[in-house]
Amino acid sequence: MNALLLGRSAAATAARKTRLLPVGRRFLASEVNTKGDEAKKSERSKEFASKLKGGPGFGDFISGGVSDVLTTGELIEKANRVVPGTARLPRWLKTDIPMGGNVTRIRKTLRDLKLHTVCEEARCPNMSECWGGGKHGTATATIMIMGDTCTRGCRFCSVKTSKAPAALDPREPENVARALAAWGLDYIVLTSVDRDDLADFGSAHFAQTVHRIREMAPHMMIECLTPDFQGQPELIEPVALSGLDVYAHNIETVEALQRMVRDHRANYRQSMFVLEHVKKTKPTLLTKSSIMLGVGETDAEVLQTMKDLRSAGVDIVTLGQYMRPTKRHMKVHEYVTPEKFAHWEAVGNELGFLYTASGPLVRSSYKAGEFFIKEILQKRSAAASASASSVSALATGAKDQLKGMRDIAASIATEERKKVDSSS
C-alpha cells in the first residue's frame, strides 16, 4: 500500500515538473535572447544619426534673406497681440493686493455678522480702493444679500451655484443695516444672488433690507444692483419704491452673446424691460447698467447695446474688461485697450448718458462712479430745495448742475487715464 502511494506521489510530482518546465524556462534570464534587440537598437541609432547628418542646416532656418527679419516695432506688436483664451494679463490690469485698516475692519465685521460682499465673491480688482475710501474719500462697499449661492450659472461669474440654496436668513436685513451704520460708509451698493427657488425671487427681502438701512442710516446713499425677477413687474416695483437712490440691473453683454455668456433664464429683452419698467414706476430714480467687454463682441454690437440702454431711459452706464475668475469659466476673447475704453466713454457722453464710467478695471459697482453719483444726488437734492423759492433759480441751477456733473466726470476720467499711464 505504502509503495503504491509512493509510486503515485512520484508520478504526480514528475507530471507537475513536466507541465511547469516550459513556463519556468520562459522567464529565466539565461533563456532571454538580448543579442537581437541590441542589434536592432544599434541599427536604429545609426539610421537616426544619418538622418541628422543629411537633414536641414542652420541656413535652411534663416532662408529668405534679411528682408524677412522683423523690425523692432513689428516684434513689439507681435508680443502684444492677444491670442484668445491664452493671453497674459496686460500691464494695465494689474492692481494692488487689498489691504489697510479699513479693509481689515470691514472684513472682520462681515465675518462676525455672517454677511457676504460681491467684492470678495466676484474677486473684484478694486476692493482696496473702494473699501479704503480712495482719493475722493467716498468709502463704499457692495453687500451681497440672500446668501452666497446662486440658482443660476452664468459662465463669467465665480459665485457658487445650486438648485436649492440655503433658506433666507430673516435677521439679514437687520444685520446688514447695523453693519452699515457702524462702518460709516457714504455710499452702499446692495446686490444679491439670483433666487429662482423662492416664490417672489427675493423681491420682498431686498425691499425690506433697504427699509432697515434707511431707518438706521438715513443719510447713506443706496444703490441696488438687482436680479431680473424674471421680468415680473409686480416684483420689480417693491424694490424700485423701497427708498433706494439708484436702481441698477446689468445687461452684461451684447444681444448676440447672451446665451453664451449668461444663464438661459436671463436674456437681453427681459433685462431691458426691467430697466424700462423701473423708470416708468419712478421716473426720478437714477437707473444704471453695465457691459462687459472682451467676450467676443463687435464695436457695432456694443454701440447698439448702448443705444438700447439709452432708449430704455438708463442714466448711467459702465463698461469694463471681463477677467476670467478661474479656468472653469469662459475664456477671455480679447483684452481691450485703455484707448478703446476712452472711445466708449466719449460715445456714452454723446448718446446723452448722465455719466459713463469706461475703463479696464471699471465694474458695475465702481468707486469713482459712486463718488460721481453721490455728487449728482446731492446736487439734485439742493436743486429740489431751491425750487421751493424760485422756478427760474431752479432752471439756472439745473444748467450749473449739469455743467458741474460734466466737470466731475471729466476729472475722474483724467485721473483713471493717469493711473493707467503710471502703471505702464
Whether residue 353 is predicted with pLDDT greater than 60 in this model: the reply is yes
Confidence (pLDDT) at 214: 95
pTM of the model: 0.66
- Mean pLDDT over each residue of the chain, to the nearest integer: 76
Lowest mean pLDDT among 4-8, 128-132, 320-324: 4-8
Q: Which amino acid is at 229?
A: F
Does residue 121 surpass a pLDDT of 60? no
pLDDT tens-digit series, residues 148-187 = 899 999 998 888 899 999 999 999 999 999 888 887 777 8
- Percent of the chain residues topping a pLDDT of 70: 57
In sequence order, which residues have a C-beta less than 8 Å from that of residue 346 and are 6 or more positions away?
Answer: none
Q: How many whole angstroms separate alpha carbon 237 and alpha carbon 240?
A: 5
* Per-residue pLDDT band at 40 (split at 50, 70, 90): confident
